[in-house]
Structure 1
Amino acid sequence: MEELEASRVGHFFRSVTERFPAAPDTASIVVTHLVDGRPIFLSAAARATDLRAILPKPRSVQADVLTPAEKVATCDPLSRADFSDPGFVLEYLENRAPGRNLVIADVGGYFAPALGRIAKEYSGRIVAVVEDTENGHQRYAALDDQPVPVFSVARSPLKVAEDYLVGHSVIFSVEALIRGHGDIMSCRRACVIGFGKIGSSAASLLRAKGLPVVVFDADPVKRTQALSMGYQVAGMLAEATAGAGIVIGATGNVSLSAADFSRLANGAYVASVTSSDDEMDLDSVADLYRRTRVAPHVTRYDTTGHYFYLLADGNAVNFVHGASAGSFIYLVQAEILADIGLAAKGSYASGMHEADPQTRMFIADSWLTTFTQEHPHAHHR
């Protein structure tokens, strides 16, 4: 990132943390993707709180970003299996932040399985969890009860722009990798599994490129929305993937299992918008298919009479090319920082929460002032 741009981002985050300061004794642990620009967000979190540890999302760690992140705080390994074990998580927190008032900034619900136990047994106090993603939102909302306040950014209006642009970056990367394999997307039927904000954005761009698109979503409401937008809609996943040359998983909740892989059309390209741990049950086919790297980030899976291509090893395909959503990503990161500050006040009841409209309006106004010329004197009115 250019120095001038980094300075603008830092200034923007500072305006948010000054408006929504955390209590002085607040500690934090942050789950995050380590991609370009993320150390600026982490530095802001470290200024606002005592940042005890960074947990980089597996398979979304850029080597040139890890080093500056480690200068901000300790970076620890993160895995879904380890953090699904409440005993492991409790020991981890006691090691990193014993006896502290702690806010956890999560991305994907990693702390959800352990939340009930750590809320009771941790030597400090879990002040709140701040969750970034729809997948994580669903994991926390599915708990019988939330023992602490859980602030969700997943459904914030400020996230709409990011999700829309992520959908476009997914299709950019899918097309680039297919072309890198000496192939093209044209004349292929596309299947999008999951018609949420990212899935619907990806579907719209595929259609704009002239591909016929079929949509499957387990939620009948989403299927009616897709139908109203003119997409072909399938009532069963097997119907949706039948004959599809491009299959994109955008559910965050295991869109493809062993049986689903076996039904893919020969030569289909398969991609995910999130981690393979969340989107695809690849372990179930590990012993059934041979795997051969046939081009950068393109792996051929083949068995007798059947083959398909997996892009980016089943991980978020757009991270191959940086997953850029431009400066719009800072809106979401700013709301996370604001939620940390709000939650640290300790005045919220257990359960699911969102930032109030006034908080989001301040963030949006500050972002417009910093990154556009829409109203450069907005804060002097």
Structure 2
Amino acid sequence: MESPDKAQLDAFFRSITQRFPAGGQVSSLIITHLLPERPAFLDAMARTTTVAAVLPKPKSANRQVLADVRRSYAVRPLTRGLFAEPNSALELLEEIAPGQDIVLLDIGGYYAPSLEVLTAKFSGRILGVVEDTENGHQRYGTLGQLPCPVFSVARSPLKECEDHLVGRSVVYSAEALIRARGSVLTGRDACVIGYGKVGRSIAQSLRAHDLHVTVYDNDPVKRIQALVQGFRTTATRTDAIHKADLVFCATGNFALRRSDFESLRDGAHIASVTSSDDELELASLERTYRRTAAGDHLTRYERAGHYFYVLAEGNAVNFVHGATVGVYIHLVQAEILAATSVLSYGDHHDPGLHELSTEHRRVIARIWLEHFAR
């Protein structure tokens, strides 16, 4: 990051942390993407909490950023298995923050499987979780009775800016990879599976690129919303994908399973907005499809009489080009900082899903406008 940009960003985060200070000695365990703008956010977290460790999401970690972060913070490897097994999760917390009050920062519901055990058995105190994504929001929601407060920013109005730009960046990256093979998007049939905020942005961006767009969502209300916004819809996933040249998966919960791949038309390209582990059941194809590299970030799946392509190994395709959404990402990061501050005051919130107050969001918006909308 260029120094004037860094100075501006540091000033913004200092304004946020001054407005939302910690309520005492608090540690944090941070699951995060390591993108070029992320060290400034981590430094802001370090002014609010003691950063016990950073757990980079492995498929989005920028190598240079990772090296830089290692110089300032303890970095631990992240896998789903780490928190799927409560004992290993508990061992990690006891190693890095024994006896401390701690806030868990999450992207994708990693802590959910172990949260009850961590809350009950950790020698310190789990003050709560701050979750960034819709996928994670849903994972905590399915737990039923949560053992501690979970603040979600996934459905915040401040995150809508990021979600809109993520949709655009997904289409940008998909087009760049397809253009690298000497082809273009224009005039093709596309399908968007999942009509949440990101899926809606993808559909709108595809239409702006002169594609014919069909939307499928298993929620009939979302299908009506797609219809009223001028998109074609179908009653089944199979009907949506079988004629599509491009399929964009934006559900966070297995948009395509094994039987769905068989319904893809020959030569279809598949792009995802999240991890392949969450969006595509590619492992089920290992015995029936042969995988070959077909270009940069492009894999061909083929069996007798059928073939299709997967972009970026099925992971978030926009991370191929840095997943850039500009300064709007700092609205979400500021809300995460504010939610961490709220949790640091201890027993003010009952166990369950929570959101930051409207007034707190307005404060963040005003500070952001002062620093980035001059």
Which interval holds the TM-score relative to the shorter structure?
A: over 0.9
1:262 equivalenced with 2:262 (yes/no): yes
Letter in 2 for 1:144: G
Alignment match, 2:133: 133
Quick check: 2:195–2:216 contact (8 Å CA) kept in 1? yes
SS of equivalent to 2:130: strand
1:40-189 → structure 2 map (5 Å cutoff): 40-189=40-189
| Matches of 2:83 and 2:223, distance apart in 1 | 33
| Matches of 2:181 and 2:300, distance apart in 1 | 11
| Matches of 1:294 and 1:359, distance apart in 2 | 48
- Give the CA deviation at 1:152: 0.5
| Matches of 1:51 and 1:281, distance apart in 2 | 35
Alignment match, 2:363: 362
1:293-332 → structure 2 map (5 Å cutoff): 293-332=293-332
Structure 1 residue runs without a partner (length 5+): 374-381
Quick check: 1:181–1:298 contact (8 Å CA) kept in 2? no
Could you tell me the percent identity over the aligned residues?
A: 51
Alignment match, 1:286: 286
1:19 equivalenced with 2:33 (yes/no): no
Alignment match, 1:36: 36
CA-to-partner distance for each residue in 1:283-323, whole Å, 9 max, x for gaps?
Answer: 11122211111111111111111111110110100011111
Alignment match, 1:352: 353
| Matches of 1:72 and 1:203, distance apart in 2 | 40
CA-to-partner distance for each residue in 1:27-83, whole Å, 9 max, x for gaps?
Answer: 000110011110110111112101001111120011111011112311111111332
Quick check: 2:24–2:344 contact (8 Å CA) kept in 1? no
Quick check: 1:42–1:72 contact (8 Å CA) kept in 2? no
Quick check: 2:24–2:345 contact (8 Å CA) kept in 1? no
Structure 2 residue runs without a partner (length 5+): none
| Matches of 2:334 and 2:187, distance apart in 1 | 41
Letter in 1 for 2:229: M
Quick check: 1:39–1:72 contact (8 Å CA) kept in 2? no
- Give the CA deviation at 1:147: 0.8
CA-to-partner distance for each residue in 1:77-135, whole Å, 9 max, x for gaps?
Answer: 11113321112211111111111101001000000111111111111110010000000
How many residue pairs match? The answer is 373
Q: CA RMSD in A?
A: 0.9
SS of equivalent to 2:28: strand
TM-score normalised to structure 2 length? 0.98
- Give the CA deviation at 1:24: 3.0
Quick check: 1:43–1:72 contact (8 Å CA) kept in 2? no
| Matches of 2:237 and 2:78, distance apart in 1 | 31
Runs of 4+ in 1 over 2 A off after TM superposition: none
TM-score normalised to structure 1 length? 0.96
Alignment match, 1:204: 204
| Matches of 1:154 and 1:122, distance apart in 2 | 27
